[in-house]
Chain A
Amino acid sequence: MKFFQNKRKIRGYKEFLYIFPLLILITIFAYYPLYGWVYAFFDYKPPVPLSMDLFVGLKWFQSLIANDVKRQQIFMVIRNTFAMSGLTILTSWLPMIFAVFLNEIKCMRYRKVVQTVTTIPNFISWVLVYSIAYNLFNSTGMVNHILTNAGFISNPILFLQGANHIWLKMWLWLTWKNLGWAAIMYIAAISGIDEELYEASKVDGATRMQTIYHITIPSLLPTYFVLLMLSVASFLSNGMEQYYVFQNAFNKDSIQVLDLYVFNLAMGSGSYSVSTALSMLKSLISLVLLCVCNKISKLVRGENFL
């Protein structure tokens, strides 16, 4: 018996050796960058290597709110981040409604086509989205041509350059790209609802809206809740790609979200240390948010999503 146990143990070590190289990989690319946080405490100017002489303590953290200009900038960035994430969260029920009403379409072929077509934008990059936006909405793009030819306007509207309604525009592009795809999760959930519930409601003479309101939507709420918690947890992480491609000199003040600001700070002006400090704060706050959301999920639904 002991012999077999040992054999199993040895096998376990051997198996560990097999996956060891891959664990090294994830250590390098996901854990080792955490060491990069030390740059937040040094006056780091590449290519000069780090040394204790350059240690500045919390200087960069303080510098984030040191003077009015800085404070204003940080406030602006936070405001943009909250606006963009806020809009997304406020409309997070859209994919659910999309799925519910798609389910109401009885013609399977029509449903399939709609589902296929509306998920396509999810699979193109933000660069391509921007390219499409540019081709359609620039001063000589399709929309301006149509409006001019119809005589509505005499001068082209600069859709992409101005800072007007930029939050709304960003939300619209995001929705265009994501809505169909996000709905798939709910479509899957709908197909899991017990068919008997629908039959019972039919017998009771429920109307269509009543069925949706009393059966479909309540069955989807748990899924919705988990996804909502996840999006709350990533409140600060809008990603930078979308905002990077759409940003220009005119809309910069209203488009810079936290992720983009961190990037611009480092790659644009070479302030690696300050941006690392900001990045670090963001990661820590996000971690706390994630734990809080997980806790809420546990309280409400009795299970973790982590």
Chain B
Amino acid sequence: MEISKRKIHKKQSFKDWLISAITYVVFAIFAFICIYPFYYIFINTISSNKLSEKGAINFWPQQIHFQNYMDALKIPGLANAAMISIERTVIGTLFTVIATAFLGYMFTRDSLWHRKLWYRYVVITMYFNAGIIPWYLTMRNLHLTNNFWGYILPGIVSPFYIILTKTFVESIPIELQQAAEIDGAGTLRVFTSIILPVIKPIMATVAIFTAVGQWNAFQDTLLLMTDEKLYSLQFILYQYINQASSLKTLINSTSNGASVAQSLATVQTATSIRMTVTIIVVAPILLIYPIFQRYFVKGMMIGAVKG
């Protein structure tokens, strides 16, 4: 009896061990698939372009140089696109965060005239929209095509973040507000002195989400902008991928003077430039991600509680 029980136990623990082992391996493989492409592209941008062209760079960089990045700066339009991307990220995030914090707070105020109605009015837009073409036609009627504000204005009031913020504000003890009001603080004063300092964590979450969204946005450029001066980095990158052949001539014409001094290994190719631009576009995300990961996760979890 005693022996057979031990046998079973042993058998089970072997099975458990096997499950564990498989789990570890499968997750390792998946994690590798998730991160390796970024690594692969990065090591190819800093390795000899000649070797890279041959497909010889798979695990370690060889003959490291940074000429690709130096030359990328000379690509016409890239610097401007970077500026547009940065501007829309900074300005868009600023506006959205402020509007979200304010609305999130106002929708918790019982005194607000028809509070529930307006809250629903905003939230419903999350589930229902007119469709992309009517939206585009509207934007055109409002002269927001080929206009920088076309990037900013539509995203200022975003219902999902407002829900997150409202949930957060509701978790703050109401006595804090009441005490301030007894001391004579008005609605706005309560917002700036009491609410804002307390809701910083959720504002950080919203800021990160918005910033990533603005940085990654592609569709609005595609729809609204035909003026090259307003192209974002994402859009430029998309164009580079689709115009691989014309890229080469573009590069050769820009780095003509310097090319005498360049060895063959650092001469730009369509591939090297495509990879370099890819890394430039993805770098901000990869750099901020580890720092802000907890905010992402926190935001998601607050959302989950609501859902």
Contacts and interface: CB of A to CB of B under 8 A. Distances in A.
A26 interface: yes
B37 interface: yes
A185 B300 contact: yes
Contacts of B1: none
A131 B278 contact: yes
A267 B187 contact: no
B243 to A, nearest CB: 12
B187 A18 contact: yes
B113 A15 contact: yes
Contacts of A208: 15-16, 19
Interface in B217-252: 217-219, 222-223, 234-235, 237-238, 241
B111 A11 contact: yes
Contact of B137 (A23, A36, A223): A36
A121 B34 CA distance: 7
Contacts, number: 255
A63 to B, nearest CB: 16
Interface stretch (B196-204, B254-262, B283-291): B283-291
Given A276-B133, A283-B129, A33 B31 contact: no
Given A101-B23, A118-B34, A283 B130 contact: yes
Contact of A130 (B31, B44, B241): B241
Contacts of A148: 55
A243 to B, nearest CB: 12
Interface string A265-306: 011000010011001101100110010000000000000011
A207 B109 CA distance: 51
Interface in A79-128: 101-102, 104-106, 110, 113-114, 116-121, 123-128
B274 A134 contact: yes
Interface centre among A128, A176, A223, A245 (most CB of B within 10 A): A128
A19 interface: yes
Contact of A19 (B30, B41, B102, B301): B102
Interface residues of A, number: 95
Interface residues of B, number: 87
Contact of A116 (B44, B121, B290): B290
B157 A22 contact: yes
B134 A140 contact: no
B111 A25 contact: no
A104 B22 CA distance: 11
B99 interface: yes
A176 B33 contact: yes
A225 to B, nearest CB: 11
A48 interface: no
Contact of B134 (A36, A106, A117, A128): A36
Given A179-B30, A272-B133, 15 more contacts: A12-B113, A29-B154, A33-B129, A33-B137, A36-B137, A102-B27, A118-B30, A123-B285, A188-B304, A209-B19, A227-B307, A259-B132, A263-B132, A267-B222, A279-B131
Interface of B: 12, 15-16, 19-20, 23-24, 26-28, 30-31, 33-35, 37-38, 40-41, 44, 53-55, 58, 99, 102-103, 106, 109, 111-114, 118, 121-122, 125, 127-138, 140, 142, 153-154, 156-157, 187-188, 212, 215-219, 222-223, 234-235, 237-238, 241, 271, 274-275, 278, 281-282, 285-286, 289-290, 293, 296-297, 300-301, 304, 307
